């Protein structure tokens, strides 16, 4: 079982597309394609039910901290109860992100990312002391190319290679209100998900981040101020000397003062224009790269985790069913075959989570052991029956053995429940 530190476990294929890919494998017959689709539908139903329960727990944990909540709380919670709810939320959210094959970024990794200087990104300053809890999750590290105009190339547009995260998720709670965000409630927890974020621009996504000018922008603002002071000082000295000689010092001083004021206003205007340009670029990036916020993030991530788990189980079963033979495979052999299959047929290089996939297969009893360390799938028809049996066991309610027909006469005679006519 190969370890691929440069690969991710995420399988970027829609479940429907994966079923189509496996169904058109040369080893499949027409009848087997129908069976495969049925297996996929039953697996999807099971994972959907399981993740619906996860979503319910997450919604209950998030409700006291949701800034967009429009329902009322029936009771006041103590500080201890709120803290327990907060801890539960972060723990359940972390488990959900792991199911969706995200990776939690460490504090050291965040600090190293903040040091990266982007060729065109906005340089930000982030005060981490305003956060009570902050977690950042990433998935899909890759390189892409973006156009940029560089003065070193005489403002010619070139394609620059950029390291990006395909998906980035943030969960944050403030312990104090950051500067410039006085309307933020420190009792709330904020969830954000973004797409295609350059590593150098990660800090711009954090609430409370402030724009920091680069050296070129500082020069545009600072150089006119310094030169303006020097020129103004020289003009004052020159005007004072000429005034003593010609006797028109007062008028000249007023003219110098007006010129100085105009130059100062121009410098102030340039400063505000530069700041507005940075804020506009920041707003534009956040608008087009933001995928969802707060409770909406939970729904999106639940869907991704559900799809991901179904893909893993389906791939593992298919490989054992059609390729392992009667002797079965070890976990290492199954892992290698899945990775090779996706690389050969789709060009995807992933690190398949074989232990996670096999745990799902054993939970549904879709595999059997051959010897000490080898596995093979059960027959497809038996797999369908077992999945159907597991589905039937999800809801087991005891019905009343008898109905009091005297107090409920309609129960004794179903025909009596007909819709009355007007």
134 contact partners, CB below 8 Å, separation of at least 6: 128, 170, 171, 172, 173, 206
For the chain, the domains span 15-62+297-392, 104-212, 215-277
Contact 88, 64 (CB under 8 A): no
pLDDT value of residue 201: 79
Cα-to-chain-centroid distance, residue 336:
29
The pLDDT score that the predictor gives to residue 119 is 59
Task: Return the CA Rg of the chain.
Answer: 32
What pLDDT was estimated at residue 63?
92
Torsions phi, psi for 292 (to 5 deg): -170, 165
Ranges in the chain, pLDDT < 50 = 400-403, 405-408, 410-422
| Model confidence, pTM | 0.76
Residue 418's pLDDT is what?
Answer: 43
pLDDT at residue number 123: 64
């Amino acid at each position: 079982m190969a370890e691929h530190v440069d690969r991710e476990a995420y399988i970027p294929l829609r479940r429907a597309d994966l079923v189509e890919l496996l169904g058109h494998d040369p080893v499949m017959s027409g009848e087997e394609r129908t069976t495969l689709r049925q297996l996929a539908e039953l697996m999807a139903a099971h994972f959907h039910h399981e993740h619906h329960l996860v979503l319910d727990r997450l919604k209950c944990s998030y409700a006291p901290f949701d800034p967009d909540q429009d329902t009322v709380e029936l009771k006041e919670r103590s500080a201890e109860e709120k803290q327990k709810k907060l801890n539960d939320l972060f723990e359940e959210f972390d488990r959900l992100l792991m199911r969706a094959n995200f990776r939690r970024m460490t504090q050291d990794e965040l600090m190293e990312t903040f040091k990266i200087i982007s060729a065109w990104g906005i340089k930000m300053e982030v005060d981490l002391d305003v956060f009570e809890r902050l977690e950042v999750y990433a998935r899909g590290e890759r390189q892409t190319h973006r156009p940029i105009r560089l003065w070193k190339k005489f403002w010619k547009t070139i394609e620059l290679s950029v390291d990006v995260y395909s998906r980035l998720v943030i969960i944050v709670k403030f312990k104090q209100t950051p500067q410039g965000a006085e309307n933020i409630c420190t009792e709330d927890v904020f969830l954000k998900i973004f797409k295609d974020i350059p590593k150098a621009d990660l800090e711009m996504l954090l609430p409370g981040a402030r724009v920091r000018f680069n050296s070129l922008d500082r020069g545009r603002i600072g150089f006119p101020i310094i030169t303006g002071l020097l020129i103004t000082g020289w003009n004052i000295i020159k005007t004072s000397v000429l005034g003593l000689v010609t006797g028109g010092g007062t008028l000249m001083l007023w003219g110098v003062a007006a010129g100085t004021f105009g130059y100062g206003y121009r410098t102030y205007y340039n400063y505000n224009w530069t700041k507005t340009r940075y804020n506009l670029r920041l707003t534009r990036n956040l608008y087009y790269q933001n995928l969802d916020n707060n409770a909406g993030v939970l729904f999106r991530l639940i869907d991704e985790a559900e799809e991901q788990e179904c893909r893993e189980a389906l791939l593992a079963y298919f490989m054992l069913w059609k390729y392992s033979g009667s002797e079965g495979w070890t976990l290492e052999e199954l892992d290698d075959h899945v990775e090779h299959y996706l690389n050969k047929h789709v060009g995807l290089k992933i690190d398949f989570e074989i232990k996670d996939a096999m745990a799902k297969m054993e939970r549904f009893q879709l595999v059997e052991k051959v010897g000490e360390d080898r596995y093979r799938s059960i027959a497809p028809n038996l797999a369908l029956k077992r999945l159907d049996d597991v589905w039937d066991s999800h809801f087991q309610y005891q019905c009343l053995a008898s109905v009091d027909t005297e107090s409920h006469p309609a129960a004794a005679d179903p025909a009596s429940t007909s819709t009355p006519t007007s």
